Structure 1
Amino acid sequence: MKNSQYLKQYVQMHPDNKMAWYLLGKEYKKSGQEGKANYCFNRAGGVFEAFEQSKVPSDMLREYEEGLLRTARERERRTGRVRRLLLLVSLLLLIMMPAAAKAPGNGSIQQAVGPESLPNTIPAALSEGSSKREKAGGSSADTLLFTAREAGGASSGRDLAELLGSGDGKVPSLTAVLGMQRSGRWLLWKERLPVEYTMEPKDNGKATIQSYDAAACACKPPAAGELADRGAEWQQRQEQLATLWSALSSYRAAKGRLPESLDELTGNFPGNWLAGTTPLMERAFAPLKAEAERKGEHAADQGAASDRTAPDGDSGAASGTTPSAGEGGAEMPFLSRPLAILVDKQKHRLAVTSGGIVIRSYEVGLGGNRTPEGNFVITDKVVNPNGHDNGEFGSRGMQLSDTNYAIHGTNEPESVGKDESLGCIRMRRSDIEELFDLVPKGTKVQIAEGGLLPDVALVSKTPFSLKAAGNQTNPRKQYHWLN
């Protein structure tokens, strides 16, 4: 019953966690306390129906329960230390207190009432309606939603539990979950992420879970086919939304307000926060701006002040967590943390990240000890910084803060991967041109000696590209970067 004690403490602290109530009910049921078990199952709502009726891997519940227990045990240890400290302080006060002093109150103790104090009776029948999918207008099954999580058996099960637990056990629509591989602290946003599983709602409120991983389900799954193609399209849309979302964040950080229109982000140099646009970005500007305003002054740059080298351990918290729709409607960015650039000097690698997710990773040329370490911001984004596209700085350049260092192209592509520059970061032409379009002006850059990034290349066969807007050359200035 030790586990039930910890779980009871957890649900008292987190009464809205449906999965925790369900797991506590399972503990009570194992010990023969049917009344308390049914009370917990009732509080679990649709999660009870989803997990009792669906074919869910057993290790999924075990993984999720272990996580809750670890959290509860750690809280108990912290609470114990605080109680011991308070007891010591109380003893000291009693020693110093005059004998006639009396504490106020009647000395009675009130205890919070939880499942442990409930009678062994069923307080209420499980609500059938709570587990049924609500329908407003047309059928939600017509909409295909996508999200991405860490790939792998136990973690996929944990993430599935979180998805259902946060939604009261109800799946709003057919949802496809794409799998990201983990490399150390990072999740990898590879091109054409594989489909891990789908969740499909039924009219009776149950969810059908279809695995597409033969190893995980010990079965022969159906071919992903068109589903995988639509997943790849979703990834491309999410990259466009991430670029626009980050531009909103950078613009507000510099100007103290959000832009009035997309034109304010795509002007002539130096107003080229974005290198260009896409039809999706044009449609998404108004809803994304409204979302940023709704969330408040710091919504668009959530986590921007956090340590870029310490990504979130949880795949959902790494960036977005909510499945997002495909065509139509206001699609919110899954990659909801502002884009950032990390440069690992030891590995000669530059990566674009969002929270704990690596979106791109390129090989770069550096200058060894001449390449500075620290934190910078992209201040200038310049097309043809030498006045032509085949100069020493290549076809694109991005200045790092108020310094003579930049990330730029090169007319010596054989130097990429080596320490031959005078301190700048050199990139191949195709890579710098994709990076130039992908990250907005104002993007934060961190350069460190090593230990930042996995030694893996992440490039796309279909490079990220925007339709150029405005004049992004700067003929009025001759750049003297330390090439």
Structure 2
Amino acid sequence: MKNSQYLKQYVQMHPDNKMAWYLLGKEYKKNGQEGKANYCFNQAGGVYEAFEQSKVPSDMLREYEEELLRTAREREKRNGRIRRLLLLVSFLLLVLMPAAAKAPGDGSMMTAVEPEDQAKTVPAADSESSLDLEKAGDSAADTLFTAREAGGGGAASASGLAGLLGSGGGKVPSLTAVLGMQRSGKWLLWKERLPVAYTLERNENGRTTIQSYDAAACACKPPDVGALADRGAEWQQRQEQLAALWSALNSFRAAKGRMPESLGELTGNFPGNWMAGTTPLMERAFAPLKAEAERKAAQGADGLDAPGGDSGAAPGAAPSAGNGGAEMPFLSQPLAILVDKQKHRLAVTSGGIIIRSYEVGLGGTRTPEGSFVITDKVVNPNGHDNGEFGSRGMQLSDTNYAIHGTNEPESVGKDESLGCIRMKRRDIEELFDLVPKGTKVQIAGGGLLPDVTQGSENPFSLKAAGNQTNPRKQYHWLN
């Protein structure tokens, strides 16, 4: 099991290493974890076929595996030394910290001194903050919102202070509000209206006050979160819009080998409807996001996975402001779809964060497993919004399978389709607007997603642009 852990760490850092995926699958299979093994073998692609169908000497495989394990163990040792150093720094901060101040409403607070010139040089240890640069003409313009794992280190950790206070290219906002995401297995859950976990407020003297809003964590009575929670919810909505646009840019560039000339090139008539529509924020953000993407391309960066940072950034990592102070998406990894056949779940993910999770109808063994790409996004397939494919359809690669609506909503959660993925009308229409054409889709046997449904009382929706019907084609998906 220890080898599985090291190999898992390795493929997380090197997801394109097909051989590593194959070796991890062999470890899972040896441990009797067939579902996980099959998923890894799917990721291994041609390597699995080549090695399973040929007589490869076992010592060759063992030598390769030992090299990967050695690399993973060395990385873990380095990370361990870094963690110990951060703990030591945290301890020194607590020892040298001025006495705690009393918060309004008897909320427990602690204060740390952070000189202004130091904030410009402290590295963002985990890159876990995201600038909200909307200039509203009030104090909201000086507020930074971000999201982190609830209870994942807290405000008192040295890495947390460095990441939050040292972000923004040297311009430190007067107030940073941290929203708390719950963890379920390896996933962080991006739920509607994430709670405010704590805030960090800096005064003119460079002194930072940390206020917890978790009564259980601080054993205190926090002040009313009120308007701050509302602004946090607005920030989340903005981040979903930016993530959808960033993913569309990523998909368009991957398919065309260039960036779109205008937002209209992403929102044209079928089949040019990479995005289902726009929002005012997307219209303002298109030019700076495109410029940031082009800047990365000019520097030789491979892909658009993490604006303002490298493509190997941790899931959900957020960059500082890009050129010209553009707002970059907190959900910096391109949106992807993961389908868990065992749990009848379809999730929209960004790195290690689940943004949405829906119940779906499947076809059991008739639903294929593997990797696909959304190639067509169609409104009212075959000219109907109440037919067998419902009001929306998204074809999976060059196949007869699709993610679509249904006129049999009672079949959702069951294995009654001929292989396609069925969704309720409200869910498919939100998914259609959220993910662009070119989005990667992974269908796996099971055990990949938590057994939770993450919808929204206010579904993600875009102002429709262009004609997204396709009357020239009769779709024959395996409903």
- TM-score where L is the length of structure 1: 0.69
Provide the secondary structure at the position in 1 that maps to 2:178. strand
Contact 2:412/2:424 (8 A) holds in 1: yes
Deviation at 1:317, TM superposition (A): 2.1
Provide the secondary structure at the position in 1 that maps to 2:199. strand
Deviation at 1:258, TM superposition (A): 0.7
Contact 2:164/2:176 (8 A) holds in 1: no
Question: Hey, what does 1:152 align to over in structure 2?
Answer: 151
| 1:334-373: CA deviation from partner (whole Å, max 9, x where unpaired) | 0010000000000000000000000000000000000000
d(CA) in 2 for partners of 1:449, 1:367? 12
d(CA) in 1 for partners of 2:473, 2:395? 13
| 1:409-452: CA deviation from partner (whole Å, max 9, x where unpaired) | 00000000000000000000000000000000000000000011
Deviation at 1:24, TM superposition (A): 5.7
Question: Hey, what does 2:438 align to over in structure 1?
Answer: 442
d(CA) in 2 for partners of 1:21, 1:446? 37
Question: Hey, what does 2:88 align to over in structure 1?
Answer: 23
d(CA) in 2 for partners of 1:238, 1:369? 37
Residue 305 of structure 2, aligned match among 297, 302, 305: 302
Gaps of 5+ in 1: 1-9, 28-47, 57-125, 305-311
Gaps of 5+ in 2: 1-74, 102-112, 122-136
Deviation at 1:205, TM superposition (A): 1.2
Equivalent residue runs for 1:79-478 within 5 Å: 130-131=117-118, 143-152=142-151, 154=153, 157-158=156-157, 160-164=160-164, 166-167=166-167, 171-296=172-297, 298=301, 300-302=303-305, 317-322=314-319, 330-478=326-474
Contact 1:245/1:300 (8 A) holds in 2: no
Cα separation, partners in 2 of 1:301 and 1:55, compared to 1, 3 Å = farther
d(CA) in 2 for partners of 1:197, 1:292? 32
Deviation at 1:173, TM superposition (A): 2.9
Number of aligned residues: 366
Q: Tell me how large the CA RMSD over aligned residues is.
A: 3.5
Q: Which has the larger radius of gyration?
A: 1
Cα separation, partners in 2 of 1:425 and 1:298, compared to 1, 3 Å = farther
Give the partner amino acid of 1:302.
D
Question: Hey, what does 2:41 align to over in structure 1?
Answer: none
Deviation at 1:182, TM superposition (A): 0.3
d(CA) in 2 for partners of 1:132, 1:345? 48
Deviation at 1:206, TM superposition (A): 1.4
d(CA) in 2 for partners of 1:24, 1:205? 19
Deviation at 1:154, TM superposition (A): 3.5
d(CA) in 2 for partners of 1:399, 1:255? 19
Cα separation, partners in 2 of 1:21 and 1:413, compared to 1, 3 Å = closer
Give the partner amino acid of 2:304.
D
Deviation at 1:300, TM superposition (A): 5.0
Deviation at 1:264, TM superposition (A): 0.6
Cα separation, partners in 2 of 1:184 and 1:383, compared to 1, 3 Å = same
Residue 52 of structure 1, aligned match among 76, 80, 97: 97
Cα separation, partners in 2 of 1:280 and 1:394, compared to 1, 3 Å = same
Deviation at 1:223, TM superposition (A): 1.2
Judge which range, 195-204 or 163-172, deviates more: 163-172
Provide the secondary structure at the position in 1 that maps to 2:436. coil
| 1:444-476: CA deviation from partner (whole Å, max 9, x where unpaired) | 000000011000000000000000000000111
- TM-score where L is the length of structure 2: 0.70
Deviation at 1:257, TM superposition (A): 0.7
| 1:243-287: CA deviation from partner (whole Å, max 9, x where unpaired) | 000000000000001101001100100000000000000000001
Judge which range, 162-171 or 453-462, deviates more: 162-171
Contact 2:175/2:202 (8 A) holds in 1: yes
| 1:369-396: CA deviation from partner (whole Å, max 9, x where unpaired) | 0000000000000001121101100000
Deviation at 1:25, TM superposition (A): 9.9
Cα separation, partners in 2 of 1:365 and 1:238, compared to 1, 3 Å = same
Give the partner amino acid of 2:205.
N
Deviation at 1:131, TM superposition (A): 4.6
d(CA) in 1 for partners of 2:352, 2:420? 26
Contact 2:114/2:206 (8 A) holds in 1: no
Deviation at 1:127, TM superposition (A): 11
Give the partner amino acid of 1:227.
L
Cα separation, partners in 2 of 1:23 and 1:448, compared to 1, 3 Å = same
Contact 1:145/1:323 (8 A) holds in 2: no
Question: Hey, what does 2:38 align to over in structure 1?
Answer: none
| 1:49-82: CA deviation from partner (whole Å, max 9, x where unpaired) | 99723759xxxxxxxxxxxxxxxxxxxxxxxxxx
Deviation at 1:26, TM superposition (A): 6.0
d(CA) in 1 for partners of 2:117, 2:371? 50
Contact 1:383/1:397 (8 A) holds in 2: yes
Cα separation, partners in 2 of 1:50 and 1:292, compared to 1, 3 Å = farther
Give the partner amino acid of 1:147.
T
Deviation at 1:156, TM superposition (A): 5.3
d(CA) in 2 for partners of 1:387, 1:129? 61
Give the partner amino acid of 1:436.
F
Provide the secondary structure at the position in 1 that maps to 2:294. helix
